[in-house]
Amino acid sequence: MTRWPRRRPPESIEPPAWYRHLDPAAWAAPDEQELLMAGGHGLPPEYRRWHAERRWREARREWCIANPEYDWLQELLDRRERRRAASG
């Protein structure tokens, strides 16, 4: 009798450090959208922070698309379990 080989689960990869931890200074360079909003004037610090977070989220999404073997759903579930364990 012939046995079918078992399929191994796909290897999960670790994301880069910037993926999990936002460093606003690393994402501080204004992009076209931010420059258009400023109209030649500087934006307040909270706006710069918001745009840094937006650029970081966009980079995370692009990284996930470029690395489909990354199991982001499992990371999300693990993070939720850690929060539940810490809270009670």
Q: Is residue 66 part of a domain?
A: yes
Q: Is residue 7 part of a domain?
A: no
Q: Is residue 25 part of a domain?
A: no
Q: Is residue 41 part of a domain?
A: yes
Neighbours of 48 (CB within 10 A): 17
Q: Is residue 1 part of a domain?
A: no
Number of domains in the chain: 1
- The 10s digit of each residue's pLDDT in 16-75 is 999 989 999 999 888 887 888 788 777 788 888 988 999 999 999 999 899 888 888 878
Q: Is residue 72 part of a domain?
A: yes
- Asked whether the CA dihedral 80, 82, 86, 88 is positive or negative, the reply is positive
Q: Is residue 19 part of a domain?
A: no
Q: Is residue 37 part of a domain?
A: yes
Query: Which domain covers residue 41, as residue numbers?
Result: 30-83
